[in-house]
């Protein structure tokens, strides 16, 4: 059944957008009730305007903390349009409210811009959230506009004679509960952030989903919930796909390990690094990364920690890639690269790394701390008679950081701050080792005097044996196997330095 809007309660923090609605309310002879700053804004603009205080009999008190929390307000919103409820509100001279318009205090923006607890707490909206929930509960009779983002819906309703169908009211009610639950989640996560509980409730809420072309595969629907604009400035290119986003995330997490190096360049494919190098110049870093696997680089995600210049852009342009990420692009480089409009160019503002990661499995969710532990050379423990040189230690740190971001089981071979070969996603560490050696050979690398990194301990000395025979001359691994000594003994026999990090980096 259609319902006509004859009365409205308006209480908004942000007054932007009201000027478009005001003449439409006047045209439909809607009687408006309002409080505080909203009342002052509407005064002289709305033909029929009444202060909420005039129906409650109470002024705004406690510095504005209590304005609308009164039966004379909520009775008019929650009253069902039947004889019993209508007679009760008539007895107490409570006007029925057909429309409730609210825009909440900007709690999340305040958290983001202030570290003053008192200021943040004052931006927890009580009256507004209560109005939203009450109006949404009574959607059979009441229209709720829960934020300024729904003003366009109200304009449409008013232009259509201020009448609504139940389906429209129910849809707006669903949006209202979406907004109220998101608001409460943000408040909970702020208030609970310093509580020392062993296990905290998992409460997540993301607004404004971006519809993707499809998910991981064309038959799967896909969405992205997040604010890409806070991390990246998109210069050019088509819409990022589901797989692009997953790879971009992997690229950012990897490059966060090397963001402070001189010039680091990485090439990602299916979330794994197939090329990575650190060099004095961006062009040299690109060439070093590409040498790691020029075949897999086709259609990959490229990321650099330094500005892209024209010379490097011209070299990059010789292959097909999906996304190129850098902190900036020289004007000439940008003009050159944007000649191919589908190629995605992203300027990264910062390397955001979430403190927690989670994954839906079975009938629930698993949550863990994000692996933010970096294996630094000064923290590595030498466990062999032979000690690695400073150059080897630098390469061991480089290789271990790369291994951390590859799918387990993984082995990394590196030399002179360059990825030579990697084996990843293997069911045995020996297979990963053999894959890394084979790949390095196919890419034309000699493995003499390279280093080897493993994401987890060696249960047997077979990998160090295979690596040594291939040219490995220093090894880094977490250690922790009951048979660590077997690997140590082999290394001592070969005068091969090995260090332990004491940190495993499984990645599944």
**Of 148, 156, 142, 222, nearest in space to 179 by CA:** 148
Q: Between β-strands 31-34 and 49-51, what pairing exists: parallel, antiparallel or unpaired?
A: parallel
Q: Is there a contact between 10 and 145 (Cβ–Cβ < 8 Å)? A: no
- The H or E element spanning position 487 is helix 484-493
Active site residue 439: no
Q: Please, what sign has the CA dihedral across residues 244, 249, 252, 254?
A: negative
Active site residue 270: yes
Q: Which of the 8 DSSP states describes residue 495?
A: T
* Among 170, 270, 287, 373, the one annotated catalytic: 270
Q: Between the CA of residue 16 and those of 41, 123, 296, 377, what are the distances in Å?
A: 11, 18, 51, 55
d(CA 156, CA 148): 14
Q: Reduce the DSSP state of residue 473 to 3 states and report it.
A: strand
Q: Which tokens belong to 112?
A: 């983001």
- The H or E element spanning position 345 is strand 344-348
Residue 148 main-chain phi, psi, to 5 deg: -65, -20
* Among 137, 200, 234, 259, the one annotated catalytic: 137
Q: CA torsion angle for 24, 26, 31, 35 (degrees, to 10)? A: 80
CA angle (462 as vertex; 461, 467 as ends), nearest 5: 105
d(CA 169, CA 167): 6
Q: How many other C-beta atoms can be found within 10 angstroms of the C-beta atom of residue 395? A: 27
- Hey, what long-range contacts does 253-257 have (CB within 8 A, 24 or more apart)? 253/353, 253/405, 254/303, 254/402, 254/405, 255/303, 255/304, 255/305, 255/325, 255/351, 256/351, 256/353, 257/374, 257/401, 257/404, 257/405
Residue carrying structure tokens 């977490």: 478
Q: Between the CA of residue 152 and those of 56, 129, 474, what are the distances in Å?
A: 31, 20, 65
Give the DSSP letter string of 217-280. STTS--EE-S-HHHHEEEEE-SPPPHHHHHHHHHHHHHHTTTTTSSEEEEEEETTEEEEEEEES
Q: Active-site residues: which are they? A: 137, 270
């Amino acid at each position: 059944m259609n319902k006509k809007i004859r009365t409205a309660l308006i209480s908004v923090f942000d007054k932007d957008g009201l000027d478009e609605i005001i003449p439409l309310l006047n045209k439909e002879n809607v009687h408006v009730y309002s409080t505080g700053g909203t009342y002052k804004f509407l005064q002289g603009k709305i033909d029929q305007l009444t202060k909420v205080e005039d129906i409650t009999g109470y002024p705004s008190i406690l510095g504005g903390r209590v304005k609308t929390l009164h039966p004379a307000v909520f009775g008019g919103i929650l009253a069902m349009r039947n004889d019993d409820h209508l007679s009760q509100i008539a007895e107490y001279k409570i006007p029925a409210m057909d429309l409730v318009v609210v825009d909440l205090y900007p709690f999340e923006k305040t958290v983001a811009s202030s570290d003053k607890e008192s200021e943040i707490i004052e931006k927890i909206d009580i009256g507004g959230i209560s109005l939203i929930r009450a109006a949404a509960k009574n959607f059979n009779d009441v229209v709720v506009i829960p934020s300024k983002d729904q003003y366009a819906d109200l304009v449409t309703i008013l232009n259509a004679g201020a009448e609504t169908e139940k389906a429209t009211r129910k849809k707006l009610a669903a949006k209202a509960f979406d907004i109220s639950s998101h608001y409460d989640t943000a408040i909970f996560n702020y208030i609970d952030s310093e509580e020392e509980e062993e296990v905290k409730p998992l409460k997540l809420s993301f607004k404004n989903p971006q519809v993707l072309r499809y998910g991981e595969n064309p038959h799967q629907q896909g969405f992205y919930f997040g604010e890409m604009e806070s991390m990246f400035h998109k210069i050019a290119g088509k819409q990022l796909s589901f797989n692009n986003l997953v790879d971009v995330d992997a690229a950012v997490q990897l490059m966060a390990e090397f963001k402070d190096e001189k010039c680091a360049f990485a090439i990602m494919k299916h979330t794994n690094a197939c090329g990575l190098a650190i060099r004095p110049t961006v062009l040299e870093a690109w060439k070093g990364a590409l040498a790691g696997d020029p075949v897999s680089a086709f259609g990959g995600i490229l990321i650099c920690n330094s500005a892209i210049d024209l010379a490097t852009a011209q070299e990059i342009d010789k292959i097909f890639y999906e996304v190129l990420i850098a902190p900036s692009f020289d004007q000439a480089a940008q003009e050159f690269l944007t000649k191919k409009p589908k190629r995605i160019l992203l300027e990264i503002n910062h390397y955001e790394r979430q403190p927690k990661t989670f994954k839906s499995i079975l009938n629930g969710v698993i949550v863990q701390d994000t692996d933010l532990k970096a294996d630094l050379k000064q923290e590595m423990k030498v466990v062999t008679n032979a000690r690695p040189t400073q150059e080897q230690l630098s390469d061991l740190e480089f290789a271990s950081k790369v291994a951390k971001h590859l799918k387990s089981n993984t082995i990394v071979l590196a030399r002179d701050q360059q990825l030579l070969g990697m084996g990843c996603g293997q069911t045995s560490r020996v297979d990963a080792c053999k894959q890394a050696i084979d790949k390095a050979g196919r890419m034309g690398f000699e493995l003499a005097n390279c280093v080897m990194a493993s994401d987890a301990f060696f249960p047997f000395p077979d990998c160090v044996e295979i690596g040594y025979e291939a040219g490995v001359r220093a090894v880094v691994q977490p250690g922790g196997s009951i048979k660590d000594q077997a690997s140590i003994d082999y290394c001592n026999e070969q005068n091969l330095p090995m260090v332990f990090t004491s940190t495993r980096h499984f990645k599944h």
